[in-house]
Structure 1
Amino acid sequence: MSILLSLIYFTISISAAIRVIMTKRNPLAAALWLVTIWFAPYLGPLLYYLLGINRVKRKAIHLRRGIDHYRYPVLNQYQVDAHALREHGIPDHFKPLVKSVHNLTEQHLLAGNRIVPLFSGETAYSAMIAEITAAKQSIALMTYIFHADGIGEKFIAALRQAHVRGVEIRVLLDGVMAHLAQPSITQALRAANIPYALFNSPLLAHRVFFLNLRSHRKICVIDGRIGFTGGFNIHRDYWSPDPEKRVFQDTHFRLTGPIVTHLSNVFVDEWLYSSGETLRGDPWFSETPEFPETGSVLARGIAAGPDERWERLRGSYLTALNVATQSVRIMSPYFIPDEVLLAAIDDAINRQVAVDILIPESGSKVLLAATMGRINETLKHGARLWLCPPPFNHSKLMIVDDQWLLMGSGNWDERSLRLNYEFDVECYDSVLVENINNLFIAHQKAARQLTYEVYRHRPFHDRLFDGCARLLSPFL
């Protein structure tokens, strides 16, 4: 019997190891999986088959076969190609970025958008609830975390009232985070008769192997015409009825104009995957050729995930770094770039581009240590790292040459780049970027700069911990 078990174990382990070698593109991740498989008997192969295989790609392709992404026939008038940038006041050196992101996303850059930043939980949540309250046809809400208490109570009340008015509602939650939330958000939505679905719920037998693939997107679309996206979850720590209480910080955006169609497309595709229901036409999309609120921002949605042919988020970061001529500003709560992204940052510094990176000093000590372990050589080359004091700042922003902004749900870590489903929006507009620059500079003034000299003189045990955390970064 023991010989038979050993044969089964070696067969499974060899099969897992071959699959790792043939499919894992990241050498470090592949090496760590091989070590786990061979040095954690029985548990290692089990962990790989549970967490290491991307089954979502096959499932998504199967579901979407024969179903075209919804495309507005009226969007042609808003499409902008790289050769028309000057007409919108955008310098020519951004042409490679426009072309690259178009090829990555298969989405056109769209003119005529109005994008308003929302800099606090009070501002963002109030704006979203106001639009939900005024909704006439439909509400599409997708979020990673939805707490049923605190600010979540106000959202549920507004959604319930909209449902009573006859508004079509769909709420899409990440399957893991929905089950971890207490009090239960699923029970609260059921009690309010609000239709919802879970993305890759681990409680479903056929989805248990998708445990490591999460939907981190935050999208809300009202009547197919008004959109919200950015970094805010519906999270109790970002809002308080007491205006004097210090709550966590983040940045969200209200979007109007043709860019809202990109948000809607992502929602209906992910709803199809999660529920099997196809949402097309009214009331989910506006069919009229004009949008009620338009502006001067050129924008494009970037939907990234492990089922896509290209690594869209990584490609956007890399090309933006490569076209920068003056400055790059990055704000991220989880900044653990890989060697390719670090090389692009170093190359920008070599071209005399000023690179400023702003991360929260509060939060997970392991994640902060992983950042330190990754970035210390880049600090030596000339990048400037700023540590923001509490409260925790969850904003995810990238600014290039005071003309281009990337905002949304994506972080600078392996989980966002390879495993999570993320949604970001690239924006070309100097006025919008100036507004975000002012936010960045305000946080920068309150932050503490960590120079390479300061890093080098940290205690040995701290630097050793940084190095150990860096080795774990593919799993963080």
Structure 2
Amino acid sequence: MADIDALIKKYFVQPEDVVLPSQPMPLTSAGNKITPLIDGTTYFNDLKAQLDLLGRGTPEENKKQFIYLTGWWLHLVGGKVDPAPGGSGVTVPAVELDKPFSLDGPAAAALMTDLLKAKARAGVDVRVLGWASFAIMANNFNQARAVQGGLISVRSTNIGTLAAIKDLRTEPTLADKVWVNILTHSAGAAHTKLVIVGSDSGAIGYTGGLDFAGDRHGLAPHPTRQWHDVQARVEGPAVQALHDYFRDMWNEIRVRKIRPFSLGTANLPSHTLGTPELAARSLPTTAPGKHRVQSLRTLPQFHYTTFNQFPENDRISWAQDGLFEIRCAWLKAIKAAERFIYVEDQAFWSIELMSALRDTIQRKPALTVVLVAGIADPTDPKYPPYGLAALSQGLLKGMTSGQRTQVMMFSRDVVVHTKSTIVDDQWAIIGSANFTRRSLYTDIEHSVAFLDDEDLLVRQYRVKLWADAFRLGSADEGKIADIEKALNVWNPGWGVPGSGVLLPPSITTVEFPTPTTLADEEQEKYDRYYDVDSTKPWGGCRS
């Protein structure tokens, strides 16, 4: 049995770690059950099973049920959609993106749009927040300049989301309940992939990296270029924090000025006035498990240059100075690491987080660090070498040759879209936040960090995640349960041999760069568009 009090003090954010007002004490709860759902097929099947339980009772029973859903990209209708002004309207090529989205699988007949409409008609309180950039998708004359600056992929995904919002609003019961999340920084995104389903008698939450788009259906063993991702299923008292986060965003948008969005030749209003606020709800505090959870958020600050040609936004009323809880939690756990840190992520751009890894390596010679990336997300633009700069300026700067042997980076032959870190088989985080500056300071994010009273969950999660990477079947997962044998698979110089597992050809070593800095033009794009820091004054375009 673990000394849970010691683990909490060591890995979880504590009152002494708090830096007010932007880094308050995160909402922390006991008695939860966290289930890591590895890959889209696992998550979508789990979510569908929960949705199928709703809307089957009497009208009185159904109206006590709810489905609250947020998304960075809701590509629910698929296909080529009407373009924004000056745009082609063609989504970036990817598997099955031309077809409507179904939880049942690529191109399956049971569409998610039909499912949500049916639940709403049955009386379930269905509410959707999809993100679109008011700076890019609004009808303003600087749009073309922003797209040329590298934001064409933002426009492409936003078109899909706006088309889904337009389609869902054709259902009368959803006409006032499907909104655009307009709370973002001008160069930021509402990046959360948060779903809460249930009723007043109990609810389940989901948070992680998975959007509702047709190419997200993946499952091990992965064919090359398939999607790989993780979503966390949350049960217990922690669901209250997820519910309240959605509620706070919904009610904030409700009182905002409506912003018109361009979809083809039509204007799509961001939301509707007069919709009743989402009332407070006290969910049951039943304890279904023994997992400790910190519910973590990122919300931006809003600082603009004197002359700014892009539309500006107002501060969020309940987060006037932003919220950087994910940053605080990540840095705390990295600093506390003793034996290993494993980071699986889409983008390793944060010099601050890379520097924290370096500092911990330099203090702890027994520590090993594994970084795992993959093939670029096909919906991302072609990025300059921000990751190389973060590696050389953050992780490797000042390291001795011996310290460099403590860290290795690998690339898988699949699209690694995961946003998860594991420390010492004791602490882990799953959510929407990437290993990037914008996820720490600018985008709207949500993640959960967790420990286990019995000290089993995080190791079990690590074994499942590494078995996916090593292409092991369930019968062979026990071979990497021992962390020393498992680390030896990544690097024969680490841990101890004896697992019988070899690194598969689908995983290749990433050679660390020579010292890399960004050219002035690359640095400007990085600061202005790709990895914005909301604590700094921002101007969307030059005159």
In the superposition, relative to structure 1, how do residues 251 and 92 fare at CA in structure 2: closer, same or farther (>3 Å)? Answer: closer
* Contact 1:407–1:424 (CA under 8 A) maintained in structure 2: yes
* Matching residue of 2:189: 214
Within 1, Cα distance between the matches of 2:35 and 2:11? 25
Paired amino acid for 1:301: S
In the superposition, relative to structure 1, how do residues 161 and 240 fare at CA in structure 2: closer, same or farther (>3 Å)? Answer: farther
Residue identity over aligned pairs, in percent, reads 20
* Contact 1:129–1:158 (CA under 8 A) maintained in structure 2: no
Count of residue correspondences: 371
Cα deviation, 1:252-286, whole Å, max 9, x if unaligned, reads 121110010010010000111222353124xx542
Within 1, Cα distance between the matches of 2:435 and 2:390? 12
Within 2, Cα distance between the matches of 1:171 and 1:183? 12
**Residue 243 of structure 2 is aligned to residue 264 of structure 1:** yes
Cα deviation, 1:109-136, whole Å, max 9, x if unaligned, reads 2111111111121111121122122124
Cα deviation, 1:407-445, whole Å, max 9, x if unaligned, reads 100012122122201001110123221133124434264
* Contact 2:291–2:450 (CA under 8 A) maintained in structure 1: yes
Within 1, Cα distance between the matches of 2:520 and 2:412? 23
| Pairing partner for 2:180 from 191, 194, 198 | 198
Q: Tell me by how many angstroms 1:320 deviates.
A: 1.4
* Matching residue of 1:357: 371
Within 2, Cα distance between the matches of 1:123 and 1:261? 24
Larger deviation, residues 86-95 vs 372-381: 86-95
In the superposition, relative to structure 1, how do residues 279 and 87 fare at CA in structure 2: closer, same or farther (>3 Å)? Answer: farther
In the superposition, relative to structure 1, how do residues 441 and 244 fare at CA in structure 2: closer, same or farther (>3 Å)? Answer: closer
**Residue 332 of structure 2 is aligned to residue 330 of structure 1:** no
In the superposition, relative to structure 1, how do residues 374 and 98 fare at CA in structure 2: closer, same or farther (>3 Å)? Answer: same
In the superposition, relative to structure 1, how do residues 273 and 329 fare at CA in structure 2: closer, same or farther (>3 Å)? Answer: same
Paired amino acid for 2:13: L
Paired amino acid for 1:411: N
Within 2, Cα distance between the matches of 1:266 and 1:182? 21
* Matching residue of 1:21: none
Within 2, Cα distance between the matches of 1:182 and 1:217? 14
Q: Any gaps of 5 or more consecutive residues in structure 2?
A: 55-61, 77-99, 104-109, 134-153, 256-275, 302-318, 471-502, 531-543
* Matching residue of 2:459: 434
* Contact 1:141–1:221 (CA under 8 A) maintained in structure 2: yes
Within 1, Cα distance between the matches of 2:526 and 2:517? 14
User: More helix per residue: 1 or 2?
Assistant: 1
Paired amino acid for 1:185: A
CA RMSD of aligned residues (A): 3.2
In the superposition, relative to structure 1, how do residues 182 and 199 fare at CA in structure 2: closer, same or farther (>3 Å)? Answer: closer
Within 1, Cα distance between the matches of 2:122 and 2:131? 27
Name which structure has the greater RCO, CA cutoff 8 Å, separation 6+. Answer: 2
Within 2, Cα distance between the matches of 1:272 and 1:371? 37
Q: Tell me by how many angstroms 1:96 deviates.
A: 6.5
Q: Tell me by how many angstroms 1:228 deviates.
A: 0.9
**Residue 46 of structure 2 is aligned to residue 127 of structure 1:** yes
* Contact 1:113–1:295 (CA under 8 A) maintained in structure 2: yes
Within 1, Cα distance between the matches of 2:342 and 2:222? 30
Could you say what secondary structure the match of 2:117 adopts?
Answer: helix
User: What does residue range 55-454 of structure 1 map to in structure 2 within 5 Å?
Assistant: 88=4, 91=7, 94=10, 97-99=13-15, 104-135=23-54, 136=62, 137-148=65-76, 149-151=100-102, 154-176=111-133, 179-181=158-160, 184-193=163-172, 194=174, 195-200=177-182, 210-224=185-199, 225-239=203-217, 247-276=226-255, 277-281=276-280, 284-286=281-283, 288=284, 290-291=285-286, 294-307=288-301, 308=319, 309=321, 310-338=323-351, 340-350=352-362, 351-352=364-365, 353-363=367-377, 366-367=382-383, 369-376=385-392, 378-379=395-396, 381-382=403-404, 384-429=407-452, 430-442=455-467, 443=469, 445=503, 446-452=506-512
In the superposition, relative to structure 1, how do residues 306 and 365 fare at CA in structure 2: closer, same or farther (>3 Å)? Answer: closer
Paired amino acid for 2:180: L
In the superposition, relative to structure 1, how do residues 98 and 440 fare at CA in structure 2: closer, same or farther (>3 Å)? Answer: farther
Could you say what secondary structure the match of 2:438 adopts?
Answer: helix
Within 2, Cα distance between the matches of 1:346 and 1:312? 21
Q: Tell me by how many angstroms 1:200 deviates.
A: 1.5
Paired amino acid for 1:278: E
Q: Tell me by how many angstroms 1:213 deviates.
A: 2.9
Paired amino acid for 1:236: G
Compute the TM-score of the two structures, normalised by the length of structure 1: 0.70
Compute the TM-score of the two structures, normalised by the length of structure 2: 0.62
Q: Any gaps of 5 or more consecutive residues in structure 1?
A: 1-84, 202-206
Q: Tell me by how many angstroms 1:403 deviates.
A: 0.5
Q: Tell me by how many angstroms 1:321 deviates.
A: 1.4
Cα deviation, 1:210-236, whole Å, max 9, x if unaligned, reads 532321111111125111111111011
Within 2, Cα distance between the matches of 1:279 and 1:183? 22
* Contact 1:163–1:169 (CA under 8 A) maintained in structure 2: yes
Within 2, Cα distance between the matches of 1:92 and 1:131? 31
* Contact 2:130–2:165 (CA under 8 A) maintained in structure 1: no
Cα deviation, 1:272-310, whole Å, max 9, x if unaligned, reads 1222353124xx542x4x43x611110021111114445
Cα deviation, 1:181-240, whole Å, max 9, x if unaligned, reads 178112221123422111128xxxxx9xx5323211111111251111111110111128
Within 1, Cα distance between the matches of 2:67 and 2:437? 32
In the superposition, relative to structure 1, how do residues 179 and 470 fare at CA in structure 2: closer, same or farther (>3 Å)? Answer: closer
* Contact 2:69–2:194 (CA under 8 A) maintained in structure 1: yes
In the superposition, relative to structure 1, how do residues 327 and 368 fare at CA in structure 2: closer, same or farther (>3 Å)? Answer: farther
* Contact 2:346–2:376 (CA under 8 A) maintained in structure 1: no
Could you say what secondary structure the match of 1:441 adopts?
Answer: helix
In the superposition, relative to structure 1, how do residues 315 and 233 fare at CA in structure 2: closer, same or farther (>3 Å)? Answer: same
Within 2, Cα distance between the matches of 1:431 and 1:317? 21
* Contact 1:172–1:198 (CA under 8 A) maintained in structure 2: yes
Larger deviation, residues 293-302 vs 382-391: 382-391
